[in-house]
Amino acid sequence: MEKNLKKIRIIAVILIAILLCIVAFGGFYVKKQGIWENVIPDFKLGMELGGIRELHFVLDDTEEEKEVYLDSNGNYAGDVKEDSSNTEVSLETEETTETSDQQEDSTDIEGYTKETKTIKSNNDEDINIENFEVSKKIIQQRLEKLDFYEYNIRQDTVTGEIIVELPDDDNIEVEQSMISTVGKLEIIDEQTGLILMDKSDVKKATMLASSENGYQTYLQLEFTNQGAEKLKEISKNYQSVTNEDGTQTTNYISILLDGQTISKTYFSEEINNAVIQLPMGNSTENYEEYLDIAQSVSTIADIINEETMPLVYTLSSDNHINSVITNDISMKVGIFTIALIVIVSLYLIIRFRLEGLKSAILSIAYIALLSIIIRYTNIIITVSALIAMICVIVINYIFMIKFLKLLKETQNRKLAFTQTMKKLYLAIVPVCIIAIIFTFMSSVIISSIGMILFWGLFMQAIYACLMLL
């Protein structure tokens, strides 16, 4: 009876191992909206393997004649608005379609004058080495927020030109936007264009979400004490009011980021808590669509919370640099690796018969499971990471061979297992220490080595226990 149960356990383990191999190397497909999609994510390749996008950014030298507001000291106070949109969004998240009265006023606003001026993207006095360095630092900080991200950045200290090298992946447009965004936040009078508040009045920006009636994303702005006083006054003046003749007049504010409207709204009541929540995008039932919107809003919040770029950059060129590892090289390496695995598997089967067959299948399944873990933990695959992966695979095979040899000599499974584990892990203590230290390093190349060593050794210990069956 015991022997039969043991055979059943062994067969079950082998079947599960085969299933892992099928999922890892063939994929796991589910039907979404009539299309079969592989739910197993792709590997994230580093710049060495996946190619490089070399982005050249230069100082924006454009200039434009505009009619602007000037305060009593002659300082810029906003662009004169010629017209306004009828779209309105309540802070209570209720959307309406009522038409607002346009407030076109050709006269000067009290305390401000209108003047046509030539506005440059970068003022001459701002173009200096100090601002070059500050801009580069801000770009680095933004890229560092991308967990375990790989990039290179260079700067010409004479012209201010910045060159950023990034992995050639699907996120390149988002990354490009993060680099070139200045981060200038303004809250303006939608009817006139006059600046009411700016970034100095905002204490913190946060992305919030609700799932009560579909997925809805919000940008929460928390204001400073000075900003709270301004917000309180603004919330009293920018509301929807019904006139004596029954017509409705709505005064709007617009929130701008680098001159682009990210939200337009009015207030239903006076705000006293120094916090507003702005609905971003429409409510959706599609979770993947919600994730895209949430990521975009999180990026906006991060940019608002960071220092504003002192200079405006524009993309000059976008060059694609192919990986040094060509498809031909990849194919040859793949064939060589498969051949080695087959040779080792045949050796195990010939030398150790049934136990060797079980070990060969488990070893291949170990590689399959490790590849799945690497994809789900978003480890960036670099050349050094591949070497680390080869190391843990070799360690697993060494364990299997030593265990099977000792089992053949002693005919005692537990004794063979205990002695093999003891000898192996005493020998690789330095590797375990390296795995832990490297995992927490900021460099992608080093951290990827640490994470693969960690997961490889962790899974090897678990797999080793299967040999007790």
**159-185: average pLDDT:** 86
% of the chain beyond a pLDDT of 90: 32
Whether the per-residue pLDDT at 127 is higher than 90: the answer is yes
Q: Which amino acid is at 123?
A: N
pLDDT at residue number 86: 43
Q: Which amino acid is at 379?
A: I
Whether the per-residue pLDDT at 134 is higher than 90: the answer is yes
Closest among 381, 212, 216 to 293, alpha carbons compared: 216
pLDDT at residue number 88: 43
Whether the per-residue pLDDT at 418 is higher than 80: the answer is yes
Closest among 105, 165, 169, 108 to 140, alpha carbons compared: 165
pLDDT at residue number 107: 47
Whether the per-residue pLDDT at 99 is higher than 60: the answer is no
Distant-in-sequence contacts of 458-461, Cβ < 8 A, 24+ apart: 459/366, 459/369, 459/370, 459/373, 460/366, 460/392, 460/395, 460/396, 460/399, 461/421
Cα distance between residue 330 and residue 237, in whole Å: 65
**3-state SS assignment for residue 69:** strand
pLDDT at residue number 137: 93
pLDDT at residue number 108: 60
Task: Give the right CATH number for 2-47+326-466 from 3.30.70, 1.20.1640, 1.10.287, 1.10.3470.
Answer: 1.20.1640
pLDDT band at residue 191 under the 50/70/90 scheme = confident
CB 76 within 8 A of CB 68: yes
Cα distance between residue 151 and residue 149, in whole Å: 7
Q: What angle do CA 411, 362, 421 make, to 5 degrees?
A: 50
C-alpha pair distances (Å), 424 with each of 417, 458, 459: 11, 13, 15
**269-278: average pLDDT:** 88
pLDDT at residue number 76: 86
Of 28-32, 307-311, 380-384, the poorest mean pLDDT is in 28-32
pLDDT band at residue 98 under the 50/70/90 scheme = very low
Of 32-41, 184-193, 199-208, 228-237, the poorest mean pLDDT is in 32-41
pLDDT at residue number 25: 86
Q: Which amino acid is at 70?
A: L
Whether the per-residue pLDDT at 170 is higher than 80: the answer is no
Q: Which residue has the tokens 């592989």?
A: 38
**261-285: average pLDDT:** 88
CB 217 within 8 A of CB 208: yes
Of 337-341, 416-420, 460-464, the poorest mean pLDDT is in 460-464
**138-161: average pLDDT:** 84
Whether the per-residue pLDDT at 455 is higher than 90: the answer is yes
Cα distance between residue 135 and residue 239, in whole Å: 39
Of 83-97, 127-141, 251-265, 288-302, the poorest mean pLDDT is in 83-97
Q: Which amino acid is at 401?
A: I
% of the chain beyond a pLDDT of 70: 93
CB 431 within 8 A of CB 387: no
Cα distance between residue 372 and residue 352, in whole Å: 29
- Specify the DSSP element, H or E, that contains 307: none
Location of each CATH 1.20.1640 domain in the chain? 2-47+326-466
C-alpha pair distances (Å), 182 with each of 256, 264, 363, 424: 12, 20, 52, 54
pLDDT at residue number 94: 38
Closest among 50, 296, 41, 330 to 165, alpha carbons compared: 50
